Amino acid sequence: MTYEVIGRKRKINFGATGVDEVLQNVAMILQTPKMTVPLRRSWFIDYSLLDKPIEVAQAQLASEVFQAIRKYEPRATITGIRFIQDNEQNMEGWIIPAVSVEVNL
């Protein structure tokens, strides 16, 4: 089964198991900037690329997302990635990754 995980802040379930645990881990990877986890500074996504033009940022962020999920949550297999943008003109310039994954337990 394929699930879509959006990189937005959400409530953490400390007792999550199985599919819920994997999906929660993927969500945390998507929303956690590199250098913000004490003792694991290299973990997760390098968001410094977001100061680049939107097309360049999307391409580089997609690569970062694939690498981070493959490394830190191997039970999730990425089947697709898309980006949610603010408005039709993208005036504020924010993008949110939405990743389709299959969970392999």
DSSP code string of 48-99 = GGGGS-HHHHHHHHHHHHHHHHHHH-TTEEEEEEEEEESSTT-SS--EEEEE
What would be the CATH architecture of the domain defined by 2-103?
Roll (3.10)
For position 49, what pLDDT does the model report? 76
For position 96, what pLDDT does the model report? 85
For position 93, what pLDDT does the model report? 65
Q: Find the radius of gyration of the CA atoms of the chain.
A: 14
Please state, as a whole number, how many other Cβ atoms lie within 10 Å of the Cβ of residue 103: 18
3-state secondary structure (DSSP) of residue 45: strand
3-state secondary structure (DSSP) of residue 20: helix
**Cα dihedral sign for 85, 62, 26, 4?**
positive
Mean pLDDT of successive 10-residue stretches along the chain, which has 105 residues: 89 93 93 80 74 84 91 95 74 80 95
For position 45, what pLDDT does the model report? 74
For position 62, what pLDDT does the model report? 92
